[in-house]
């Protein structure tokens, strides 16, 4: 079943007209990476300590959950290149990918749930669940009741980075999605890497290119100041660009482009 699910996600990403810029046939996203985690993986229980007790397990999301399906959609090279040229604001293509590409991912989540139901299984997209909540943790800032980055790590898709994202084999510039189902697909990969193995800073203390790219000093050797970053994204940049670009949420992504991990796992020690 893993191969059928992977093939269906790949087909939808390849063929959907919603995965296209408004004025061309160019896609927002390249072919996806798809991973699977066993819903009973003890890591999901540990996330209640690591993220917070509010973070839900697959079983809490779907009674009888067996598998968490996670995909990563790499942002195309041309969009990444357009953002490399920027130093304060995102490029128009980046902003469109952030706004309209995320709408496409919502459609993909719904499509996969419906597809699984057609096969006779139950499924839920945690991010679209009415009980999903964004919360404001007084210590770390914005958090939520389901982290797709953590689900992606559990599924072996990548590892965490200094700027709080996930570095996959296709790099750090991507968007994630996930669905929980009672279909038994397979178990969590045994060769899941260490939590931060793909980031040069955590590997050997070098790099910090993302720190230099951040226009508001939200990054440092201590990590990611989520509150500062989100204020820039959702207040400053949204006020400045939403109307000009015609994108409700322009994003930023400067720390994900023009960096060694932009399009792959960086080489190093
Ligand atoms: S730019 Fe360097 S330090 Fe920053 S996340 Fe990428 S590899 Fe890690
Ligand atoms: S997304 Fe932008 S504001 Fe946030 S940490 Fe990265 S470069 Fe800084």
Q: Confirm or reject: Cβ of 226 under 6 Å from ligand 2.
A: no
Band of pLDDT at residue 269, cut at 50, 70 and 90 = low
Pairing assessment for the beta strands 67-74 and 33-38 based on DSSP bridges: antiparallel
Q: Confirm or reject: Cβ of 173 under 6 Å from ligand 1.
A: no
Q: Confirm or reject: Cβ of 261 under 6 Å from ligand 1.
A: yes
Place of tokens 């955590």: 202
- Nearest-angstrom CA–CA distance, 210 and 259: 6
- Nearest-angstrom CA–CA distance, 215 and 225: 13
Place of tokens 């942002």: 75
Task: Indicate which residue's Cα is closest to atom 8 of ligand 2.
Answer: 214
Cβ atoms of residues 190 and 163 within 8 Å: no
The whole-number pLDDT of residue 176 equals 98
Query: Best mutation site among 166, 210, 267 for ligand 1, i.e. most ligand atoms within 8 A of its Cβ?
Result: 210
Place of tokens 């540990």: 46
Question: How many A from CA of 15 to the centre of ligand 1?
Answer: 33
Task: Indicate which residue's Cα is closest to atom 6 of ligand 1.
Answer: 261
The ranges assigned to domains in the chain are: 2-256
Q: Confirm or reject: Cβ of 192 under 6 Å from ligand 2.
A: no
Angle between helices 2-15 and 102-118 (to 10 degrees): 140
CA atoms within 13 A on the CB side of 256: 28
The whole-number pLDDT of residue 188 equals 75
Residues 234-238 have a mean pLDDT of: 94
pLDDT at 36 over 90: yes
pTM over 0.75: yes
Task: Indicate which residue's Cα is closest to atom 2 of ligand 2.
Answer: 252
The whole-number pLDDT of residue 136 equals 85
The two tokens of residue 254 are 């400067």
- Measured from the alpha carbon of residue 200, the closest ligand is 1
The residue with greater pLDDT, 3 or 269, is 3
Residues 215-244 have a mean pLDDT of: 94
- First CA to last CA distance, the chain: 37
Pairing assessment for the beta strands 33-38 and 158-160 based on DSSP bridges: unpaired
The whole-number pLDDT of residue 229 equals 94
Tell me how crowded residue 90 is: count the other CB atoms within 10 A of its CB. 25
The whole-number pLDDT of residue 173 equals 98
pLDDT at 260 over 70: yes
Q: Confirm or reject: Cβ of 216 under 6 Å from ligand 2.
A: yes
Q: Confirm or reject: Cβ of 218 under 6 Å from ligand 2.
A: yes
Residue-wise pLDDT for 136-187, tens only, equals 877 767 889 999 999 999 999 999 999 999 999 999 999 999 999 999 997 7
């Amino acid at each position: 079943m893993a191969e059928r699910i992977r093939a269906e996600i790949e087909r939808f990403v390849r063929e959907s007209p919603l995965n296209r810029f408004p004025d061309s046939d160019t896609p927002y996203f390249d072919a996806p990476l798809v991973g699977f985690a066993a819903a009973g993986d003890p890591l999901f229980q540990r996330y209640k300590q690591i993220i917070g007790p509010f973070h839900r397990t697959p079983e809490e999301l779907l009674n009888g959950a067996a598998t968490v399906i996670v995909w990563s959609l790499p942002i195309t090279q041309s969009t990444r290149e357009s953002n490399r040229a920027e130093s304060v604001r995102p490029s128009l293509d980046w902003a469109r990918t952030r706004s309209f590409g995320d709408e496409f991912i919502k459609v993909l989540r719904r499509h996969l749930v419906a597809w699984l139901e057609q096969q006779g299984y139950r499924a839920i997209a945690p991010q679209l669940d009415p009980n999903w909540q964004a919360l404001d943790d007084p210590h770390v800032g914005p958090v939520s009741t389901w982290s797709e980055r953590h689900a992606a790590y559990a599924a072996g898709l990548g590892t965490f980075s200094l700027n709080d994202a996930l570095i996959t084999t296709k790099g750090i510039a991507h968007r994630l999605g996930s669905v929980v189902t009672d279909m038994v697909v397979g178990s969590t990969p045994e060769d899941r890497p260490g939590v931060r193995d793909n980031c040069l800073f955590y590997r050997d203390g070098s790099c910090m290119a993302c720190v230099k790219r951040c226009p508001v000093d939200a990054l440092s050797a201590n990590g990611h100041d989520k509150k500062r970053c989100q204020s820039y994204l959702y207040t400053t940049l949204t006020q400045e660009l939403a109307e000009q670009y015609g994108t409700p949420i322009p994003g930023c992504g400067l720390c994900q482009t023009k960096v060694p991990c932009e399009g792959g796992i960086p080489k190093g020690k």
